Amino acid sequence: MMFFAAIIIFTSARRHYVIVPPEGSVLRKAFNAISFARKRHSKYKGRVPHEKNVTFKFLDYAKAFPEELAVNMKMDWDNKFVDELRQALKAF
């Protein structure tokens, strides 16, 4: 009985839902960020200060440098995405 009531509630409120279209593949974005960080790590080794006891330190190179924030670089991720990617890799 409760299941039928829930189905009726969800279907009747369907017009109030906000449906956001997908932005693209998260796996592609993660792979691009990791490969970009690896390339930058070999180019700018030692330029980015790291926090102590942080795993996957190389992902800091995927973040935009302060002087690059004014220049529109072709990065389809932001610094928050890099932090979330690091957390996901730690959990894996």
pLDDT tens, residue by residue, 22-46 = 888 999 999 999 998 888 888 877 6
In the predicted structure, residue 63 carries a pLDDT above the cut 80? yes
pLDDT for res 84? 93
pLDDT for res 29? 92
pLDDT for res 22? 84
71's tokens: 């220049």
In the predicted structure, residue 48 carries a pLDDT above the cut 70? no
In the predicted structure, residue 68 carries a pLDDT above the cut 90? no
Phi-psi group of 46: left, alpha or beta (phi > 0 → left; psi -120 to 50 → alpha; rest → beta): left
Summarize the confidence of residues 49-63 as an average pLDDT.
76
Summarize the confidence of residues 88-92 as an average pLDDT.
89
Q: Tokens 């006891």 label which residue?
A: 53
